[in-house]
Structure 1
Amino acid sequence: MAEIKDPENTILLELESGTVTIELLPDIAPGHVERMKELAREGAYDDVVFHRVIDGFMAQTGDVKHGRSGGDTRRAGTGGSEKPDLKAEFSGIPHDRGTIGAARSASPDSANSQFFINFSDNHFLNRQYTVYGRVIGGMDHVDTITRGEPPANPDKIVSMKVAADA
């Protein structure tokens, strides 16, 4: 079990295979951290599929509009939340294995609810995508997420909570 230092800035991401503990980085990307916590507290991420999972690269999820498991997920990856898009919060934090990055379109200020977890060091993303968290426990569960663009039988987020609320 990962040591949780700041429950208010820790996410418990429950997958079918187990719990992934994510330490958020509010000093680095406060807007992205607040958005993830807000959506998690609303239950918006619960039952959302991993719609883009590339071996050796990353697992992407968080389309709270189109990504619900059991629904029509063919459009997963094209939506976000009803909340406004976020301004980019680029930093010097590298996209290392286990870091959480904000998924976005071509516009740097288009991140909303989608995020990805890096399977490996992806430094070509540095200073181009906002890093706002890192896996501190359960990366072995992330490694088992079904691959595909989209996966034929995608894995999903069972639930996602702020540790302070759990």
Structure 2
Amino acid sequence: MRKLVLLAALAATPAAATELEIDVSGEAEGTITIDLFEDVAPQHVERITTLAEEGAYDDVVFHRVIDGFMAQTGDVEFGRMGQDMRMAGTGGSEMPDLPPEFSDISFERGVVGMARSQDPASANSQFFIMFAPAPHLNNEYTVVGEVTGGMDVVDQIKRGEGRGGAVLGQPDVMSEVRVVE
């Protein structure tokens, strides 16, 4: 019986061949490692890896951080250190938006999802990391991966203020983002 349960659990776990390493600086210091789920969200993973390989995510801030919920980053248009942070979170890349790639993976602590507007087909470059489970996001947002190292760094990311979680002052930043295959 245990073997069947174990095999079923393994079959439900996405295969991950690509990792993302994010060096964080600011109040949070360290490296976050994310396994990207190419078999679950191939278009979204391709977008993230392309932007990371181009260096587009380097020096991009965590612009929306809600305690007990998630930390959002990846606005490669308006979220770079040194820019006016009032626009952070409203931009994306020059590439077209992506259609949803929903899965049966639940938004649990450490899961990484793609941010979007009200339109399910509007994900572009921004992504978020869950601090805690949020089942209301299941089948509403695309899961792209899971943190496999550095969750302690994620937990240290500077929190935003108010319901919207906008980070004021000096937000933490993804100083360097690397793709590891």
TM over 0.5: yes
Which amino acid in the other structure matches residue 10 of structure 1? Answer: E
Rounded to whole Å, the distance in 1 between the matches of 2:107 and 2:81 is 28
Rounded to whole Å, the distance in 2 between the matches of 1:49 and 1:73 is 9
Which amino acid in the other structure matches residue 18 of structure 2? Answer: N
Percent identical among aligned pairs is 57
Deviations 1:32-62 (A, max 9, x none): 0000000000000000011100000000000
Runs of 4+ in 1 over 3 A off after TM superposition: none
1:92 pairs, out of 93, 104, 108, with: 104
Deviation at 1:150, TM superposition (A): 1.9
Q: What is the SS of the residue equivalent to 1:160?
A: strand
| Structure 1 unmatched ranges of 5 or more | none
Rounded to whole Å, the distance in 1 between the matches of 2:85 and 2:174 is 14
Question: In the alignment, which residue of structure 1 is the partner of 2:167?
Answer: 151
Which has the higher Rg, Structure 1 or Structure 2? 2
The yes-or-no answer on 1:46 pairing with 2:51 is: no
Greater CA drift, 155-164 or 50-59: 155-164
Which amino acid in the other structure matches residue 85 of structure 2? Answer: T
Rounded to whole Å, the distance in 1 between the matches of 2:95 and 2:85 is 20
Question: In the alignment, which residue of structure 1 is the partner of 2:11?
Answer: none
2:23 pairs, out of 2, 7, 14, with: 14
| Structure 2 unmatched ranges of 5 or more | 1-14
Question: In the alignment, which residue of structure 1 is the partner of 2:121?
Answer: 109
Size of the aligned set, in residue pairs, is 159
Pairing of 1:3-82 with structure 2 (within 5 A): 9-16=18-25, 17-82=29-94
Deviation at 1:163, TM superposition (A): 1.4
